[in-house]
Structure 1
Amino acid sequence: MVAYLMEGYNVSISRACRVVKLPKSMYYYKNVRDDSETIDKLLELSERHPTEGQDLYYSRIRQQGLLWNYKRVRRVCLLLGMNKRRKVRRRVPARVKVPLIVPEQAGDTWSMDFMCDVLMNKRRFRTLNIIDDYNREAIAVEAAYTIPAVRVTQILERTIHEQGKPNCIRVDNGPEFNSKEFKDWCESRGITVQFTQPGKPMQNGYIERFNRTFRENILDAYLFEDINQVQVLADEWMEDYNYSRPHEALGGITPDLYKRLNCGDTRNSGEFPTSPQFQQQ
Structure 2
Amino acid sequence: MVGPAAKREAVAHLQATMGLSERRASSFVGADRKMIRYRSCRPPETELRGRLRDLANERRRFGYRRLFILLGREGEASGINRIYRLYREEGLTVRKRRSRRRAVGTRAPILVQAKPSARWSLDFVHDQFACGRRFRVLNIVDDVTRECLAAIPDTSISGRQVARELTELIAHRGKPGMIVSDHGTEFTSNAILAWSKDHRVEWHYIAPGRPMPERLCRVIQWTDAR
TM-score relative to the length of structure 1: 0.40
**Relative CO higher for 1 or 2, CA cutoff 8 Å, sep ≥ 6?**
1
Higher-Rg member (1/2): 2
